[in-house]
Amino acid sequence: MPKKTIIYQMNDLDDKIKQHEIAEYIKAGKLVIFPTETVYGLGGNALDPNASKAIYEAKGRPSDNPLIIHIANPDDIYKYAKNIPLDATILMDAFWPGPITFILEKQDIVPYTTTGGLHTVAIRMPDHESALKLIKLSETPIAAPSANTSGKPSSTTFKHVLDDFDGKVDAIIDGGDTTIGLESTVIDLTGDPAILRPGAITKSMIERILGKRILDLSDSRPSGEVRSPGMKYTHYKPKGNVTLINGLESHVKNFIADYHIMNPKRKIAVICADEYEHLFKGHKCRPLGSINDSSMMSRTLFKALRDMDEWKIDEVFIYYKETDELGYAMMNRMLKASGYSVLDL
């Protein structure tokens, strides 16, 4: 049964009546989509198993893929995690609030429905005023996966959220476009620190703060070792086929031109940096921003992937080579979107 989804603005969180209304949804086990600095989150009371179940259902997400718990006060980490290593407190002091999530041993109070049956829990304090207000007003931590239908690119605009969830959640807080555009870095701190998902807080930033090298396990392909349940599911995929293309500009240009001639009925599009748009004249192209501006490109990537569906594209080609660590985080999403299909030209 579709429900009536109520839309709120961020300043409604400062209005006495409306802030009460919004917090009541969370307290009653209902779902509220809210903006964070990374992507929108599909939020529910993290301590209420029924709320977690409702999140999995609304998202169409397999229930063994655990949720991140969002807190508004760093010290709350001790309420929901135990045996917290020194590395966690150092990273928390350095990067919270911010786009980094810690995997730690869970306290009993955190239901297994929220952690997908795991003894560990993912915790993050977002760097977004509305997200923090919502958590404080709700007087409970908020479990929130990225607010996208399972398998689709994460939502970085209010429109993405409406497209996926209008009629499926109780409320949405419109926060405009998110600033980072890629989900948080996920780091497992239950053993030797290991990055499970790269993000805007990069490996070298973490290593500099900890003063030691850390592992990067984010690159495990579908057949490889899976430390994070999220790694084994298809992600970020538009409806069309996605292929990453690598090679000299002239080769890539000719390849697209030839592909079009050989497959006249298939609608094709290329996602690339602004600097390469000229290679694909006469074809649909979705520039992400300048090759020298990874922040802009990251902010745009999920929008671009969603545009492929709006444009009804059958074959999506991504022409990109990472130039820095944020580019590496972007490449992680591009590889997943393509199902690791890479063509060297």
Contacts with Mg ion, residue ranges (CB under 5 A): 146
β-bridge partners, 82: 105
CB nearer to ligand TXA: give 153 or 245.
Answer: 153
- Residue nearest Mg ion, Cβ-based: 146
124 binds ligand TXA (CB under 6 A): yes
Mark 289-328 with x for binding to ligand TXA (rule: CB under 6 A) and - for no binding: ----------------------------------------
First to last CA, the chain: 49
> What is the C-alpha separation between 168 and 148, in angstroms, rounded?
12
Task: Give 51's contacts (C-beta < 8 A, 6+ positions apart).
Answer: 26, 29, 30, 31, 44, 45, 143
CB nearer to ligand TXA: give 44 or 66.
Answer: 66
198 binds ligand TXA (CB under 6 A): no
| 3-class SS of residue 241 | strand
196 binds ligand TXA (CB under 6 A): yes
Among the listed residues 72, 144, 169, 271, the single contact to ligand TXA using CB under 6 A: 144
Query: Which amino acid is located at 230 in the chain?
Result: G
Phi, psi of 131, deg, nearest 5:
-65, -45
**DSSP characters over 156-205:** -SHHHHHHHHTTTSSEEEE--S-SS-SPPEEEE-SSS-EEEE--SS-HHH
Residues of span 243-282 touching ligand TXA by CB under 6 A? none
CB nearer to ligand TXA: give 167 or 191.
Answer: 191
175 binds ligand TXA (CB under 6 A): no
Which of Mg ion, ligand TXA, none sits in contact with 68, Cβ below 5 to 8 A by type? ligand TXA
Report which secondary-structure segment, H or E, holds 9.
Answer: strand 6-9
Residues of span 69-108 touching ligand TXA by CB under 6 A? 99, 101, 103
β-bridge partners, 170: none
Which of ligand TXA, Mg ion, none sits in contact with 306, Cβ below 5 to 8 A by type? none
152 binds ligand TXA (CB under 6 A): no
> What is the C-alpha separation between 25 and 41, in angstroms, rounded?
15
Which residues would be at the binding site for ligand TXA (CB under 6 A)? 36, 38-39, 41, 65-68, 99, 101, 103, 115, 118, 120-122, 124, 126, 144-146, 183-184, 186, 196-197, 228-230
